Structure 1
Amino acid sequence: MSKMIFISNRLPVTVGKIEGALQYNKSIGGLATGLSGYHQRSGSLWIGWPGMADEDMTNTDREDILRDLKDEHKCIPVFLSADEVELYYHGFCNRTIWPLFHYFSNHAEFNTETWEAYRKVNEDFFRVAETVVEDGDTIWVHDYQLMLLPQMLKERFPNAKIGFFLHIPFPSFEVFRSLIWREEILRGLLGADLIGLHTYDYVRHFLSSSRRILGLDQNLNRITFEDRFIQVDAFPMGIDYERFSRDYDDEEYLRWEAEVIRAKDDTKTILSIDRLDYTKGIPERLKAYDTFLSRHPEYRGKVRLNMIVAPSRIEVVSYAHLRREIAELVSEINGKYGTIRWMPIWFLFQSFSQEMLIAFYRHSDVMLVTPIRDGMNLVAKEYMSARIDDEGMIVISETAGAANELGETVVVNPNDIEAMAEGIQQALEMPTEEKIAINRIIKERLRRYNVEYWADEFLGALARLNVDDVHAKTRNLEKERPRIEKAYRKAQKRILFLDYDGTLVGFRAIPEQAKPDPDLKDVLKRVIADPRNTVVIVSGRDRKILDTWFGDMNLHFLAAHGLWRRHPGEEWSMSMMLDNEWKESIRNILDWYANRMPGSLVEEKEYSLAFHYRQCEPDMVVKKLGDIREAILSMTATMNLGIQEGNKVLEIKDNRINKGFGIQPFLQDEHYDLVFGAGDDFTDEDLFTALPKKAFSIKIGIGATHANYYLKSWKSMRHLLRKFAEISEETR
């Protein structure tokens, strides 16, 4: 029976040691708090770091932790050393990914040592997961600490349903592209079947980066990657609404609430709660409050800002500087406006329990939530949920993810000090009936879309994804490898038709760069060394390039989609006589568009023209490609010319020439025990339809096809050819 597995950097339980005894406490944080209840009710497993360095525990401690976490908390620990935590978490996660994804590029460090630690710890998580995951399980991976893990899991467990949720912003392409390891991060994330982010802006940014950096096609938020579809969607995280909106009657809470009320007196209070972090916009918030008091002296002595800053990463130099800047601003404002009886700011550099914060929420007139950038910011939702009198109001940054759901409140630009000062005034002076109306609308929204709804919606979307629909009419050759290997081993006369680009090698920015590497030439030599094999390279490439690359090998060739044919030791011959009178007029059109589409290029072949747009900006391609097709079709309507569409290329050539036409002489002149054909794009469909019914036809990658099998990528094709070579060498 399949099971549910959560994987995150931290477990919902933190392990510590006091006077030699192990202690188990609930972890602090939005994810641990939000999903812990769901985890307990669902019977899922949770994999993560227990919060205690490997060096601080004995072997007996480790055994006890393993047993206690599994038996009592349904958790499985990943043990990490102090050095790993320092380099992976404090290093790459918090000094590279965190600042970059929050648009603080000037704070981002690019360090190979911390990157290697990040990669290794992701592998450590994978090795632990590998011990409990089974194909068919549902796995939900969380956040920026584990962005390489989905790919590792998918490669090992292809039938597992894998979801990934990013709890911080995904930056724009212009920012993300500056990451040295951008491709590795994207490929890691694309191991997931469903990628969730907080807002549609983040979804758009992720789709843009995957399209521009990896060149991946997408439609309706669905990315085509190798032999799979990956869905990307927005799932704004909710909170435990009932926890914040219910009545509290325990003595400890009531005692603390009474203190908050006493301290408030008749003063209007503004609340600010943040972890110490440069993304939170705390200095800008203080400057806005200063401006507000300067512009509105009538509020002096009548309003107070309660600023709570939870200590965080104070050992990091930039955070220590931030703490000092905040303290200096608080001191300056208090010194400028304060009196013996009134201080404009109460600055509390400490952490409070959730219940204590709820008391603050309920008795604060305005909440300031003005981060420079924030993935969601659950504090804003907590405040609105806790205001059981419906009279609270928020001043919220437009760059906080929560602003999309709290648009009825006062939304400001966090970089605009004047606008924030005006926002404070607007929130304080908003009529009570207007606040009540806004509160009720928002609270009903938060009540419906709570953390359980969020988790159910994400996991429901993941469950509805049917990976098998991707290839409804084709079979995965990897699953039927024994069948083709048996057929290959048994056959005494074989013919292999192999496309080149996208089938034997990956695509390159410039076509001439996709030359065969030593590994490819080696495996082809091993296959053609078997006298039972006839190997034919069937390519849209020009014959001269194929001669240059493979002229020293005993291969058969069909170049220019079958126009040119050559057997080993013979000269090239044309399958049909053609002319080039049309070329000049079509070339002028293609050159005109190439000059207006940076990254495109026109390749002139002997009897065709190819327009390559792999390096073009994708949005521009969407706009221009239809115009190019229309212009060419209008000129070629009365000719035997057509547009052949390949992978990021349009080729204009004679309609009568195609790969299916080119392979016919090979199949007519000889009888083969095994016929094998492989290709990756639309130009290979003619080849697939021309093959005998019993042939093995293989589509590389995803998409509608006439082939009866598919393989994941050109790398999978190489692996299969190596297996063919091994069988040939064993049976020769």
Structure 2
Amino acid sequence: MPPRGTASARAIESSVVVASNRGPVSFDRDERGRLAPRRGTGGLVTALSGVFYRDDTSWVSAAMTDGDRAVALKGRTVDTDSHQRMRYVVIPPDRYDGYYNEVSNRILWMAHHNLWDIPRSPMFDDTTQEAWHDFVESNRAFAQALAQEADNDPVYLIQDYHLCLVPGMLRELVPDAKIVHFSHTPFAGATYLRVLPVTMRTALLRGMAGADVLGFQSKQWAENYLLSARSLPELRVLRGGRIDVDGRVASVRSFPVAVSAEPLRETANSPEADEVRAELGAWAGDSKLILRVDRLEPSKNILRGFLAYELFLRRNPSWVGAVRFLCLFSPSREDVPEYRNYGEECLAEAARINDEMGTTSWEPIEVRVQEDYAFAVAAYDLYDVLLVNPTYDGMNLVAMEGPLVNRRDGVLVLSRNAGAFSRLGRQSLGVNPFDLAETAEAMREALEMPDEERARRARGLSRTVQAHTPATWLADQLDAVDQVRPPSHRRS
């Protein structure tokens, strides 16, 4: 830990309030009818939970269960068994649908990942305006809940696009608040963001600018925000990634998220993982293994991954029967038609390739749709090639987790549009995720790479990933607040 009195020491000692749509803990009734906490799920929660297991942390999230709502009715923050204090925001189900499913997922997620079929979608109408109202009011409810946590002059860490309006709203309620907004996703380019209705786009940019620090996964996403901010006369973009907001200076920076090696390796060494390794080893035999681990959703570019693999096999028939492609997918947002339809199309494409290219003793693609973290971590151990080819991705934790666990000097084939490429590009094989031919060639190059080069790249990946930890990721953001808001300027 840094010496007391340094900026990092002050940051680590700061009281922290985290806000996210989902929290790390939910409450259910046990067999005796008592409220009992259980760990929440979701990629963001998984990424953040290890960072915020601190005694001085409160977490504000939407109530997801009847137990959460019962806790919320008490109107206060409650302690959990995991050293965190939870405060829940109750959003009525019909409003939550507009806020989360319609605006957060079908509009903002799709915009930031460049996923719209522009000739056909989106089309904004009265239904969109109703959903936008739900989004605004849900963000307002979060801001009001956060304002109730202001007594200890905390640093507010507001997470992701769901809560992009909260910084500005919280600033109105607590003018001296120290606020960080962090975007875990990409941030749409200025031209693509102009597809949004002007009122929506302005509110998004202005709301995020309510923070003292706007954090992004990579410099590219931070620069995209700054380009769009230039279109608003009330946001004056300064040199050095800063913006003037009504006479207050905010900093726009990249803070690449990190993974925690120790719990990952603990899972890899667990009895459950040992069983999976034995199962997969027997299944793969002497074949080389290409692996992907993803949510089953459009931004992960699964369909093109299958087609690139098919092209690789047709171009390189000597690999037919000598390589297997293991695809581990977790279900994602199946109540959103675009996600559900895409998932069905991907599974159908894998089945077609197996029918056309498989033999009686060999199936080219093995697909498993399941929520099994230990299974995925065990599979990391065994891959010869890890395919990570999202169309766009804020960071991509799989690209960082795999090299920490893998023991076969596996080669990473990585989309240049993933935030992780800015960190891991030199040790990986970069691909244009839309180019099937380039991706197919990268698969061949990875499988046929000399052992010495494989080992060199694998060592480099592991060193790079371990150079940053979740603790330093958090400290860097808190230090950035100190730089924008020196302690002498803070509320006494």
Q: Output the TM-score relative to the length of structure 1.
A: 0.61
Q: What residue in structure 2 maps to residue 651 of structure 1?
A: none
Greater relative contact order structure (CA < 8 Å, 6+ sep): 2
**2:16 aligned with 1:4:** yes
Cα drift, residue 40 of structure 1? 1.7
* Cα contact 2:268–2:378 (8 A) shared by 1: no
**2:417 aligned with 1:399:** yes
Cα drift, residue 108 of structure 1? 4.0
Q: What residue in structure 2 maps to residue 371 of structure 1?
A: 390
Cα drift, residue 361 of structure 1? 0.3
Q: What residue in structure 2 maps to residue 196 of structure 1?
A: 215
* Cα contact 1:374–1:399 (8 A) shared by 2: yes
Cα drift, residue 149 of structure 1? 0.6
Q: CA, structure 1 residues 428+21, in 2 after alignment: closer, same or farther (shift >3 Å)?
A: farther
**2:474 aligned with 1:455:** yes
* Whole-angstrom distance in 1 between the partners of 2:96 and 2:383: 38
Structure 2 residues without counterparts, runs of 5 or longer: 1-12
* Whole-angstrom distance in 1 between the partners of 2:389 and 2:369: 18
Cα drift, residue 390 of structure 1? 5.7
* Cα contact 2:328–2:376 (8 A) shared by 1: no
| Percent of pairs with identical residues | 31
**2:47 aligned with 1:30:** no
**2:236 aligned with 1:219:** no
Cα drift, residue 114 of structure 1? 1.0
* Whole-angstrom distance in 2 between the partners of 1:34 and 1:324: 28
Aligned residue runs from structure 1 range 634-649, under 5 A? none
* Cα contact 1:377–1:401 (8 A) shared by 2: yes
Amino acid of the structure 1 residue aligned with 2:474: A
Q: What residue in structure 2 maps to residue 40 of structure 1?
A: 53
Quick one: which of 118, 124, 127 aligns to 2:141?
Answer: 124
Quick one: which of 97, 103, 125 aligns to 1:86?
Answer: 97
Amino acid of the structure 1 residue aligned with 2:403: M
Structure 2 counterpart SS, 1:185: helix
* Whole-angstrom distance in 2 between the partners of 1:49 and 1:25: 15
Higher mean Cα deviation, 409-418 or 247-256?
247-256
Structure 1 residues without counterparts, runs of 5 or longer: 472-732
Cα drift, residue 409 of structure 1? 0.6
User: How many residues are aligned here?
Assistant: 469
* Whole-angstrom distance in 2 between the partners of 1:242 and 1:441: 18
* Cα deviation digits, residues 649-688 of structure 1 (max 9, x gap): xxxxxxxxxxxxxxxxxxxxxxxxxxxxxxxxxxxxxxxx
Q: CA, structure 1 residues 99+25, in 2 after alignment: closer, same or farther (shift >3 Å)?
A: same
* Cα deviation digits, residues 460-506 of structure 1 (max 9, x gap): 222232269999xxxxxxxxxxxxxxxxxxxxxxxxxxxxxxxxxxx
* Whole-angstrom distance in 1 between the partners of 2:34 and 2:166: 33
Amino acid of the structure 2 residue aligned with 1:232: V
Structure 1 counterpart SS, 2:46: helix
**2:292 aligned with 1:275:** no
Q: What residue in structure 1 maps to residue 167 of structure 2?
A: 150
Q: What residue in structure 2 maps to residue 315 of structure 1?
A: 335
* Whole-angstrom distance in 2 between the partners of 1:386 and 1:261: 16
Q: What residue in structure 1 maps to residue 10 of structure 2?
A: none
Cα drift, residue 31 of structure 1? 2.7
* Cα deviation digits, residues 150-178 of structure 1 (max 9, x gap): 01111222222111100111111101122
Q: What residue in structure 2 maps to residue 98 of structure 1?
A: 109
Q: CA, structure 1 residues 337+65, in 2 after alignment: closer, same or farther (shift >3 Å)?
A: farther
Q: CA, structure 1 residues 61+453, in 2 after alignment: closer, same or farther (shift >3 Å)?
A: closer
Q: CA, structure 1 residues 267+410, in 2 after alignment: closer, same or farther (shift >3 Å)?
A: same
Cα drift, residue 52 of structure 1? 1.7
* Cα contact 2:383–2:408 (8 A) shared by 1: no
* Whole-angstrom distance in 1 between the partners of 2:140 and 2:152: 18
Q: CA, structure 1 residues 71+40, in 2 after alignment: closer, same or farther (shift >3 Å)?
A: closer
Amino acid of the structure 2 residue aligned with 1:10: R
Alpha-carbon RMSD across the aligned residues, in angstroms, is 2.6
Q: What residue in structure 1 maps to residue 261 of structure 2?
A: 241
Q: CA, structure 1 residues 378+59, in 2 after alignment: closer, same or farther (shift >3 Å)?
A: closer
Cα drift, residue 84 of structure 1? 2.3
Cα drift, residue 115 of structure 1? 0.6
Cα drift, residue 61 of structure 1? 8.6
Q: What residue in structure 1 maps to residue 321 of structure 2?
A: 301
Cα drift, residue 368 of structure 1? 0.8
* Whole-angstrom distance in 1 between the partners of 2:231 and 2:71: 51
Quick one: which of 366, 369, 372 aligns to 1:352?
Answer: 372
Amino acid of the structure 2 residue aligned with 1:13: V
* Cα deviation digits, residues 333-391 of structure 1 (max 9, x gap): 101111111100111122212x221100001111111011111111110011112x360
Structure 2 counterpart SS, 1:396: strand
**2:86 aligned with 1:75:** yes
Amino acid of the structure 2 residue aligned with 1:341: S
* Whole-angstrom distance in 2 between the partners of 1:249 and 1:101: 37
